[in-house]
Structure 1
Amino acid sequence: MAPTFYHHWPEPVTEKSGSMVQSQWWGWRGLKIGLIMVVLVLFVALIFFAVRANSKACKEGLLAEQECRNVTRLLELQLAQTREDLVGAMDEAATCNQTVVNLSTSLEMEKAQGLEQLTRREELQREVEKLKEKLQDALEEVERLRKEKEAWSKEGETSLGSSSKSLGALMAPVCLFLGLTALLA
Structure 2
Amino acid sequence: MAALALGAASPIAFAQHGGLGLVTPPVRLDDVWLVDQTGSKRRLNDLLGQGVTALQTVYTGCGTICPLQGALFSAVQGKMPAIRGRHPVQLLSIGIDPLSDSPSALRAWLARFQAGSAWNAATPALAEVDRMRMALSGSKTPLGDISDHSTQVYCFDANAMLRWRSADLPRVNDICDALAALART
TM above 0.5: no
Q: TM-score normalised to the size of structure 1?
A: 0.18
**By percentage of residues, which structure has more strand?**
2
Q: TM-score, normalised by structure 2?
A: 0.18
Looking at both structures, which has the greater relative contact order when contacts are Cα pairs under 8 Å and sequence separation is at least 6?
2
Which protein is bigger by CA-based radius of gyration?
A: 1
